[in-house]
Amino acid sequence: MTTDRPTPAPTPDPYGAFPRLTDDQIAVLSASGQRRRVREGELLFREGEPSREFFVVLSGTVAVVEGHGEQERTLQLHGPGSFLGELGLLEGQAAVLTAVVRERGEVLAVPWSNLPDLLAREPVLGDLILRAYLRRRILLAGQGTGFRIIGSAFSPDTRRLLEFTARNRLPHRWVDLEKDAEAETLLRRLGITPEETPVVVWRGDRVLRNPSNADLARVIGLRTDTAVATVCDLLVVGAGPAGLAAAVYGASEGLATVVLDAVATGGQAGTSSRIENYLGFPAGISGVELTERAVLQAGRFGARITVPAEAVGLEQESGHHLIRLADGTAISTHAVVVATGARYRRLPAPGVDRLEGVGVHYAATLWEARTCRLDPVAVVGGGNSAGQAALFLAAQSPSVHLLVRGGDLTAGMSRYLVDRITQHPRIEVMLHTEVQEVTGTDRVESVVVRDNRSGGQRVLEVHALFVFIGARPRTSWLVGTIRLDPHGSIPTGQDLAGAAPAALWRHLARTPFALETDRPGIFAAGDVRSGSVKRVASAVGEGSMAVRLVHEHLREVGSPGIH
């Protein structure tokens, strides 16, 4: 039996992640939901399970806890006007925490299926909820909340799982087999030997033994089935800015649209700590926020996004394009937009491969930065990605060494970044500098650099190295299928210069469209395309433009998906 007691004070909200809704905003939500009385101890959603409803607390209090029923830890206490949940629930993932009623009262329950359209009609309310969810996801990452990965820093599979979870912005905690005192206790309790690691501990005591990325994605609700019963209108391969733009425009214009990505949504832009020159965001926007907004937008229009799903081949079958996937499945489509982007180049220096993932990183988001908080770090590269990373890391590191091989920072970096970097008291710019070696046993301990003019060497005592030295296109799966230039990029439109096979185009009585490859109905957009300018804005523009050209192609071949 519950007893009356004073309402606890709400948890302080220094990050703006837990705003209170106004009476008018609650009234808007009430039109799509139901009021419900709740009792003390009742669970509104449970860790490891999907939630069907979005909850607003009307009276009483609700605690969001980790480890419910065991070593329970309260992370947030919600009072009247607060809403529950975080980004994963909005995207259909399983809950990483449990919501339990602490003081009886009343809640408003809105089915998740009703929420996207409602928030689209109420943009101010939608923006408030989405921003709060994005900030909550960041807070969860900083707290080490979520499923646990137990494994050795020297295990390739441990590094694979850590990269996959970080790139997909999934709340998790790494229990280092060699360094974390908790590891031995956990393994003993779970009956697992060190040789059986890495393992993922999900929902208290469920153990996934060295799961594949796809298996882990299925468990947490990230991955959807790639099977498509009929031929889709548009298949987008790659979920970076270009691919997500194609998904939004394709789905919103009535095309049955499927999006695949081998690792995560967002592409390279999703790993950017801050994008400050993207139109419409005068204060800048993080790659995470831009990605999540685009994913939700594409999903609201009906695009199906599947991660991880790696394309390994492209064929023609019965007049359709057939994309073969690494899991053995295949998808037929009337048109394809290749937006697989580019992969960061690896740094060819001794020690880099051995310490990759445990101090050597190719992205600078909160997930990587938390492993070296308050430590001196180094960033390699002279482009915008390197500059953005240096500024982001300087906010929490005592010193950042920016290592640039050339002699002029403005040669590859936007002026606004150069000005901020050169004025920052914690960033040291080292021009004409190349990495010779990375040292350390189980973490980065120092970086040996060389002045490429004088030949002099210097040892930098840093505990992390972030590498941004250019990228190469992800087109190996297309070799022998469509034309590639000497750099592996995809030439399109007039760049083909008559190289498109005449037999393929004769019945169309035209040359390739601007973003079309040498194969009719296959388009390329973003960084993967020859001549692309390597900017988020241009990638988004090309992705949307490609859909316009897809419509033209589908009309001329008489696709049943075009009305």
CATH number of the domain that residue 454 is part of: 3.50.50.60
How far from 120 is each of 124, 272, 297, 410, CA to CA, in Å? 9, 26, 9, 41
Joined together, the tokens standing for residue 465 give 């190295």
Whether residue 266 is found in the same domain as residue 405:
no
Residue 266's identity, in one-letter code, is G
Domain-located, residue 14:
no
User: pLDDT by residue (tens digit) across 411-431?
Assistant: 989 999 999 999 999 999 999
pLDDT at 2: 37
* pLDDT tens-place string over residues 2-29: 333 344 444 555 457 999 999 999 999 9
In a domain, 404, yes or no: yes
Domain span at 453: 352-467
In a domain, 406, yes or no: yes
In a domain, residue 50? The reply is yes
Give yes or no for residue 228 having a pLDDT over 70: no
Residue 6 is predicted with a pLDDT of 41
- Tell me, what's the pLDDT at 561? 53
- The reply to whether 112 and 158 lie within a common domain is no
Note the pLDDT tens digit of each residue in 26-75: 999 999 999 999 999 999 999 989 899 999 999 999 999 998 877 788 99
Any residues with CB less than 8 A from the CB of 443 and at least 6 apart, and which? Answer: 153, 355, 358, 359, 463
Residues 80 and 110 both lie in one domain? yes
Extract the tokens encoding 44.
């509104």
Residue 137 phi/psi, 5-degree rounding, is: -65, -40
Three-state SS sequence of 435-488: EEEEECCCCCCEEEEEECCCCCEEEECCCCEEECCCEEECCHHHCCCCCCCCCC
374-389 pLDDT per residue, tens: 899 999 999 998 999 9
Alpha helices (H) in 231-276, listed in sequence order: 241-252
Q: Does 7 fall in a domain?
A: no
A 10 A CB-CB count for 90 gives 23
| Within a domain: 2 | no
| 4 inside domain | no
Give 188: exposed, middle or buried? Use CB within 10 Å, 0-12, 13-18, 19+: exposed
Give me the pLDDT at residue 224, please: 62
Tell which wins on pLDDT, 111 or 276: 111
Residue that terminates a domain, selected from 178, 212, 246? 212
Give the pLDDT score at 29: 96
pLDDT, tens digit, 9 for 90 and up, residues 315-330: 998 889 999 999 999 9
* CA of residue 436 relative to chain centroid, distance: 31
Find the CATH number of the domain harbouring 163.
Answer: 3.40.30.10
pLDDT given at position 229: 63
pTM: 0.87
Quick check: 563 pLDDT over 70?
no
Amino acid at 240: G
Burial of 468 (0-12, 13-18, 19+ CB in 10 A): buried
**Domain limit, last residue, from 114, 143, 172:** 143
Are 279 and 302 in the same domain?
yes
Residues 158 and 130 in one domain: no
Strands of the sheet containing 465-467, edge to edge, are 360-361, 465-467, 377-380, 400-403, 427-430
The mean pLDDT value for 444-470 works out to 95
Q: Is 506 a residue whose pLDDT tops 80?
A: no
Residue pLDDT, tens place only, 135-176: 998 888 777 788 999 999 888 899 899 989 988 989 998 999
Retrieve residue 13's tokens. Answer: 């909200």
Total structural domains in the chain?
Answer: 4
Q: 3-state class of 28 per DSSP?
A: helix
